[in-house]
């Protein structure tokens, strides 16, 4: 996944820190999206069994 991030940068130090933060957030989100793309769906009925097991064990 690739994209373009448009950021308006001011001349002060705070804007550079904001830019760095936005880049870090973008990379973090891209990693999360990649993990979700690579994840396989659980088998049908898994969630129901899991919830029922949790209820029985408490």
Q: State residue 9's pLDDT score.
A: 56
pLDDT in tens, 4-53: 666 665 566 678 888 999 999 999 999 999 999 999 988 999 999 999 99
**Res. 2: pLDDT tops 70:** no
At 17 the pLDDT is 86
pTM: 0.50
DSSP 13-51: HHHHHHHHHHHHHHHHHHHHHHHHHHPPPPPTTHHHHHH
């Amino acid at each position: 996944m690739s994209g373009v991030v448009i950021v308006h940068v001011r001349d002060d130090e705070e804007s550079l820190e904001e830019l760095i933060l936005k880049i870090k957030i973008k990379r973090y989100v891209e990693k999360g999206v990649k993990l979700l793309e690579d994840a396989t769906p659980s088998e049908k009925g898994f969630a129901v069994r899991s919830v029922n097991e949790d209820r029985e064990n408490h």
